[in-house]
Structure 1
Amino acid sequence: MDGTALLRWGRTCLDGLENRREEINALNVFPIPDADTGTNLLATMRAAMDAADAKASPTVSAHEVAAAMAHGATIGARGNSGIILSQVLRGIAEAVRTEPLSAVTLRDALNRASVLVRDALSVPIEGTILTVLDCAAASAEACPDASLADVALAAADGAAKALGDTPSQLGVLRDAGVVDAGARGLVVLLDSLVSVTLGEIPARPEYAPSEPVTVRAAEPTDTETDSAAPQYEVMYLLADTDLEQMARLRARLTELGDSVVVVGDGAGSWSAHVHCADAGAAVEAGIAAGKLSGIRIESFATTLHDMTSGHLVTHTNMDSAKETNGPADRGILAVAAGDGAAALFEDAGAVVLGGDGAVTAAALLAAIRAMPNREVLVLPNGALPAHDLVAVGVAARDAHRDVLLLPSASMVQGLAALAVHDRGRIAVDDAFAMSEAAATTRWGSLRAARERALTMVGTCEAGDGLGLVGHDVVVIDHDVRAAGLTLLDRMLAFGGELVTLLMGAAAPDGLADDLAAHIGESFPGVEVTVYSGGQHGDLVQIGVE
């Protein structure tokens, strides 16, 4: 199988996971019975294929496709099962570095995936996707002289047999009368491979229970209190880190909770997952380990004290909320600084929280609660640090409202996210698309230094022009305009099709024209959009898409 054939397999996986999503969700009783494994696997595979489809060409190699799928799945992983899926795809990518997917490299891929998945987990549990992946790899090894189609069928059949045995290996599955949900998803992927290589889909039994399953609550141990029981699922992405720091992160998350998975795509991107009682501590552990992004917090059914009033608030997992027919009752809350920026967000349909002063966690929480919608998507736009956003998100969710805080670190990223908002989608898909738009928008800012200071690129003097990419100073120039032009060169060196310039209240006259003209001369074909933001602090916010 070359790159084109792997793309066809990926699309077949998407169809299979879409068709089996409800079945897999119904099987989901471990590690948390929140009925979202099928949804998480599908969302992760979509992220993988979005990345892979961007590489599509008549000559694309198997490695290019598989590496893109592994990267897309790592940064777009949803839930414990999604992170494990990313490692299955990484196993394929590493096996086909120099040749297509064949009988030999498929065996290597499954063996590599099995090792990667076990290495990623703090406490491997048998009777789950781990065991079934091991059996798939062993079954593939038992066909040393077979064709790719034969090896794929052997792996799929071995996985299906192991899936049927999972209730005998894990008590919670046996008590509920179901097989493991994540492992059922793995069988879908392997059956899809059989479909592409052999031309037919293996017949499998119907695994979904005939009636809703009942999960018996576990008795607390002597060392476990209610406050220490896992209440949140925490996930985030990491960059600018290494294996040693990831090992320390895995150990720290294991101290905080369970279902710990820390994985990489083999190319510098990492994803972490934990179920824990202290979401803030889990995020802080990530901050200490690398550059954090894409933070997602889901609250299991539990009760916490409101962070400001002390009233009791009941929280629910947002993925379990019922879907409504037609457009969702969904609102967007955006934090904006400056009258012009506020008007842009309002014109795009968002409710705006802003002003010249700093936005506090209490103000953001109050604004979310003032929203009349059942579903609220929040664009914080860099107004608060991660730990404050975690606290606000936890306190804002209740039995009547689902809240998602999207990873927009600047107003230009928030505008990019809002541009793809679609109320016709379910909340998780809408939030995913908006988060993806924000994450793929490179952003920077031009400022005038207020005082002499030491930066990562040298010492600046009061009045110097500072060019930042993200939160890091990368340009210092005595001339503010020159700093802005150099900053554009740095940001567009990696490519771009659209540049958004959000001009601040103190931007010098003619600066917008100078920046736009420089883009037109130095980067022909790049579209430029200039808005009057009116924000204080940043002379210009720059977004590159």
Structure 2
Amino acid sequence: MKYTALNAEELRDMLMAGASALGRHKEEVNSLNVFPVPDGDTGTNMNLTVEAANREMAKHKSPTIKDVADSLSMGSLMGARGNSGVILSQIFRGLARGLADAESITPSVLAAALQMGAETAYKAVIKPVEGTILTVAKSAAKAAAKAARAKDLNTMMAQVLQEANTTLEHTPEYLPVLKQAGVVDAGGKGLCYIFEGWIDFLEGRSVFDTPVVTDEKPALVDGIDDADLKFSYCTEFLVTGDDLQEDVFRRELEKHGDSLVVVGTSGLIKVHVHTNNPGLVLDFALSQGKELQDIKIDNMRYQHREALPQQVPPAEAKLNGVVTVAAGAGMEEIFKSMGADYVVPGGQTMNPSTEDFVQAIKEIIAQRIFILPNNKNILMAAQQAAEVIDKPVVVIPTKTIPQGLAALLSYSPDEEDLAYLEEAMQEGLSKVKTGQVTFAVRNSVFDGQPIAEGNI
């Protein structure tokens, strides 16, 4: 069967078939991932993005084309994960704009929409890099424009996929890191699988969700280690507000990192950035909007090291190590200068999880670990981490930054007597009196005195 045009339900089925094809091959896409960070999650992030779009599209039982387009755009924006997922969401956003007002989806309509998708994605990225999913999307759009007068969508999409695959094979010529690893761009490969899924639907082939089992090993690049990563934390979130300005976010956040993508509307913005100070990024976002949603912070250095095989014998473990919690580069530097081995980003408005502590502990090559949570809301997560680690972990119940600093003054990295060291650190923090100033987040009454929202 050849499709000269699609109605709303057929359009939705075609888009979902693309998501299904990507899902079947996500592990293969993961194995190609070496740019911008070799952390092996491009396929997963793209798949989570299209799954979110699918869930949104599935809400309409008898959709119009505009319903499908709007759901594709909003679902992918809300569910976008990682650099590749955010860029894919912008391809879908432009695609949706090109489809929304159509009465039916003909080759010329889809070709124009693919062009809008590529253009929207390029505009969303502060510093577009060729040899990535962007390049593949642009080539696909050009091929679609050339085939826009095709008699059916099957013919047009076959030409689109052929050009997309050809461009994909040339991506190592743009990015030396791809050539060095002997792979093509992971995001571009994921987009090609989406186009394959569209063709599966148009050709009437069975569309199923069984994942393809691949023998591919994660792509490794000699000479690349976590020291080559300029920024440590992949940070992404949604921020809501009444008059959010994308250009304001871009100007401020590009000071704090790279791989910056800022997309959305005046009421909802999606941010993706690689930074060394996720706390500063989140604080700025809160200063511009009402609330943050779907916050996700990944330690890319850790992810990269986890993806690498053990190539050198592990270093000899030292006796004691310290994990502490603080927000901002300044406090991190102070804690490390006083003997802390690992500073987990966090504080009153950003509480680390148990997993954050477990990962931090694994980063330290030491026989015993002391944790300084520096906040009563973080204490329980630290204690849970201590329970799941198979070596001695002592949680010193510091509730403030000054208490954490005082405990470190009594810390000795070479002290063999664990009980003595714990007692000394406990005694150090007990001598500290801390006062804190904050803003009231809502109207309330304390000791008979009214407190208004915003009061200090």
Deviation of 1:216 (Å): 3.9
Equivalence for 1:145: 149
Superposed CA offset, 1:6-56 (max 9, x none): 22123322321221011000000000111011111111111111111112x
Deviation of 1:284 (Å): 2.0
Shift in alpha-carbon separation, 1:84–1:181, aligned structure 2, 3 A = same
Q: Secondary structure at the match of 1:214?
A: coil
Deviation of 1:288 (Å): 3.0
- Give the letter aligned to residue 197 of structure 2: S
Deviation of 1:92 (Å): 2.2
Is 1:301–1:314's contact at 8 Å kept on the other side of the alignment? no
TM-score normalised by structure 2 residue count: 0.66
Supply the distance in 1 between the matched residues of 2:30 and 2:452 (Cα, whole angstroms).
53
Aligned mate of 1:367, from 365, 380, 393: 380
Q: Secondary structure at the match of 1:271?
A: strand
Q: Secondary structure at the match of 1:263?
A: strand
Equivalence for 2:44: 39
Q: Secondary structure at the match of 1:113?
A: helix
Supply the distance in 1 between the matched residues of 2:153 and 2:229 (Cα, whole angstroms).
48
Aligned mate of 1:10, from 6, 10, 15: 15
Superposed CA offset, 1:506-529 (max 9, x none): xxxxxxxxxxxxxxxxxxxxxxxx
TM-score normalised by structure 1 residue count: 0.56
Supply the distance in 1 between the matched residues of 2:225 and 2:295 (Cα, whole angstroms).
31
Shift in alpha-carbon separation, 1:331–1:178, aligned structure 2, 3 A = same
Equivalence for 1:490: none
Is 1:250–1:262's contact at 8 Å kept on the other side of the alignment? yes
Is 1:26–1:209's contact at 8 Å kept on the other side of the alignment? no
Supply the distance in 2 between the matched residues of 1:267 and 1:62 (Cα, whole angstroms).
24
Supply the distance in 2 between the matched residues of 1:267 and 1:250 (Cα, whole angstroms).
14
Mapped pair 1:91 → 2:120: no
Superposed CA offset, 1:418-446 (max 9, x none): xxxxxxxxxxxxxxxxxxxxxxxxxx999
Mapped pair 1:161 → 2:166: yes
The 5 A counterparts of 1:179-190 are 179-190=184-195
Supply the distance in 2 between the matched residues of 1:331 and 1:235 (Cα, whole angstroms).
20
Deviation of 1:191 (Å): 1.2
Deviation of 1:219 (Å): 9.6
Aligned mate of 2:131, from 127, 131, 150: 127
- Give the letter aligned to residue 299 of structure 1: N
Superposed CA offset, 1:99-157 (max 9, x none): 23221221111111111111111110000001100000000011131122222222121
Q: Secondary structure at the match of 1:7?
A: helix
- Give the letter aligned to residue 194 of structure 1: I
What's the Cα RMSD here? 3.5
Is 2:260–2:274's contact at 8 Å kept on the other side of the alignment? yes
The 5 A counterparts of 1:222-371 are 229-240=230-241, 242=243, 245-264=245-264, 268-291=267-290, 292-301=292-301, 306-307=324-325, 310-313=339-342, 362-371=375-384
Superposed CA offset, 1:196-243 (max 9, x none): 223359xxxx9x7854422245699xxxxx799200000011222557
Instruction: Compare 186-195 and 92-101 and name the one that shifted more.
Output: 92-101
Equivalence for 2:348: none
Is 1:120–1:263's contact at 8 Å kept on the other side of the alignment? yes
Identity of matched residues, % = 29
Structure 2's unaligned 5+ residue stretches are: 1-5, 207-211, 306-321, 327-334, 345-352, 357-372, 390-398, 400-440
Equivalence for 1:408: none
Shift in alpha-carbon separation, 1:280–1:454, aligned structure 2, 3 A = closer
Deviation of 1:70 (Å): 1.2
Is 1:75–1:270's contact at 8 Å kept on the other side of the alignment? no
Superposed CA offset, 1:152-210 (max 9, x none): 22212111111111011111101100000011111111111112223359xxxx9x785
Equivalence for 2:394: none
Supply the distance in 2 between the matched residues of 1:209 and 1:123 (Cα, whole angstroms).
34
Equivalence for 2:426: none
- Give the letter aligned to residue 214 of structure 1: L
Aligned mate of 2:110, from 94, 106, 110: 106
Shift in alpha-carbon separation, 1:86–1:210, aligned structure 2, 3 A = closer
Supply the distance in 1 between the matched residues of 2:197 and 2:228 (Cα, whole angstroms).
43
Is 2:31–2:217's contact at 8 Å kept on the other side of the alignment? no
Deviation of 1:78 (Å): 0.8
Supply the distance in 2 between the matched residues of 1:135 and 1:296 (Cα, whole angstroms).
32
**Number of residue pairs aligned between Structure 1 and Structure 2:** 336
Deviation of 1:261 (Å): 0.7
Higher relative contact order (CA 8 A, sep 6+): 2
Is 1:231–1:277's contact at 8 Å kept on the other side of the alignment? yes
Aligned mate of 2:59, from 45, 54, 67: 54
Is 2:241–2:266's contact at 8 Å kept on the other side of the alignment? no
- Give the letter aligned to residue 129 of structure 2: I
Shift in alpha-carbon separation, 1:46–1:256, aligned structure 2, 3 A = same
Supply the distance in 1 between the matched residues of 2:195 and 2:325 (Cα, whole angstroms).
46
Deviation of 1:365 (Å): 3.1
Deviation of 1:455 (Å): 7.0
Structure 1's unaligned 5+ residue stretches are: 221-225, 316-329, 334-359, 375-383, 385-443, 457-545
